[in-house]
Amino acid sequence: MAERRSAREVVTALADDSTFDELPVPAGPSKPDGPLGWPGYDASRARAAERTGEQESVVCGTARVGGTRAVLIAFEFGFLGGSLGERTGDRLEAAYTYARERRLPVVPLVATGGSRMQEGMLALTQLQRVARQSALTREAGLAQVAVVRDPTTGGGWATLGAGADVVLALPGAQVGFAGSRVRPADADPAAYTAEAQVAAGAADAVVRPEELRETLGRWLRLLTCPSSTPAAPPGALGDTAVLPATGWDAVRRARSPRRPRAAAYLDAYFTHRVAISGDRCGGTDPDGVLCGFGEHQGRTIAYAAQTGTATRPAGYRTAARLIRLADRLGIPVLTLVDTPGAANDAEAERQGAGAAIADLFAAVAGARTPVTSLVIGEGGSGGALALAAPGNTWATPDSYFSVIAPELAAAILKRPPREVEATADRLRIRPQDLVELGVVRGTVGP
C-alpha cells in the first residue's frame, strides 16, 4: 500500500513555497443528517472534521507548481474516505469554474473511495456534475493533469482520475473502479493497482513521490504553452545526404539496422520531453509508437513517432489521442513516420486495426493545430500514411514511401521474386520521386 498523506500534506509537497491560496468555500443549505436524514451522519462528519481538521473531503485552491499557476483539488481520504457528496460537488464545481475564468490548468490530486452512501443517489449524481465541469474545461482548451493516490476508486477514478488529459499515479496505489470491498472475492488484487492501470493504457506513468513535484511542474509548463507556428521538421541523422539511386536502394537503406530510429530523432530534437502512454481502451504499444510533449527551441511541440516496427491498434489510438489533445491545447504536432505497415495478425484484427487507423486518419485530417511529418525510414502503406500530414510531410534520404512493400506488390501482381527490385523502381518510392509526385514537400539534410 502506498503512503497516505493528508490533502494539505500533498499540496505542501507539490506547491512552490508559499503559493497555495485556498478558494472560498461555496455556501449551501445544510439539513440535519444530510439530504436523506441518515441517522448519525452529522456525528460522523463532526468526527471526521475533528480528526482531519477539514470540513469536507476536498481542499481546493490555486498554487504554482514548478512556476506554473494551477488549480489544485486535493482529496482528504481521512474525511469519510474522501467520498463525494453534495457539498463536495459544490466545491469541485467552484474550482473548475474558477479555473476557466482565469485560464488555469486543473490538477486533481485524487484519493477517494467513491460516492458518499449517506447521501444516496444525490451523492452519485455529483459524478455527472463533475463530468460536466471537466467537459467544459476541456472545451475551453485547458489542461487537466490528475495525480491518483491511494486509494482512487469508484466514481472519483471514473471522472476526475481517468477522465483527465494526463494521468500520473503514485507507486503501489490502489486504482480501479471497483473498491476492495465490492470486487469479486477471487479477483486478482494486482489488477487494481497504479502499475496495472499503466500497463492497461488507462494511466500514463507511475511517478515516485520524490519526483512528483518536478514531473508535474514539467507537464504543466509544457501543456500551457500554445503556439500557432508549425513545428520545423528535424534534420536527417543519417550518415549521408546522398539520395538513393534506385527504388530498391531506398528500401535497403530504410531497412538497415544501422539507420537512426525515432528515439534518436526525438533526443536530438527536444531539450526535454515527457511521454503519454496508452489508448484509454485497454491497450498500449510502447514498442511501436512513442507519444508525448517536448520542448524545442523554447516552444512546446507534441510528438507521435513510429519506431520502425509494425504499428499495433493501440499505437494508432494513442497517437490519435495525442493529436486531439494537442489540438485542444493549441500545441503544434510533429509526427515521425517509420513502419513497414500496420500489424496484420489475427489479434490486431480482433483489437480493431481498421477502426484504429481510421480514427488516426480522422484525427490528423481534423486537426486545427499545425501538423508536420517526417518520413525517417519505412513508409509502409496506409499504416504509415495515417500518421502523415497532408501537404506538410518531408522525407530523409534514407527513407521510402510506398503503396505497399515491393515484395508484396510483386506477389499481388504475380511477378517472380527476381522482379522485386524492378517493381520497387516502378513504384517510384524514393524520396526524390515522392517530391516529384507531390507526395512530400521535400527532403531534409543533416
pLDDT tens per residue across span 47-83:
999 999 999 999 999 999 999 999 999 999 999 999 9
pLDDT at 27: 81
**Peptide bond before 417: cis, by omega within 30 degrees of 0?**
no
Contacts 24+ apart (CB under 8 A), 26-29: 26/90, 26/91, 26/93, 26/94, 28/86, 28/87, 28/90
Say what the pLDDT of residue 3 is.
65
In this prediction, residue 372 carries a pLDDT of: 98
- Residue 446: the pLDDT is 85
**CB neighbourhood size of 433 (10 A):** 20
Question: What was the pLDDT predicted at 239?
Answer: 79
| pLDDT in the model for residue 30 | 75
The whole-number pLDDT of residue 195 equals 96
- Compute the residue count for the chain: 446
What is the C-alpha to C-alpha distance for residues 292 and 298, in angstroms, rounded to an integer?
16
| CA 403 distance to own-chain centroid | 30
User: What's the pTM value of the predicted model, to 2 decimals?
Assistant: 0.95
Residues of the chain whose pLDDT is less than 70? 1-3
pLDDT at 129: 96
Q: What is the pLDDT of residue 361?
A: 98
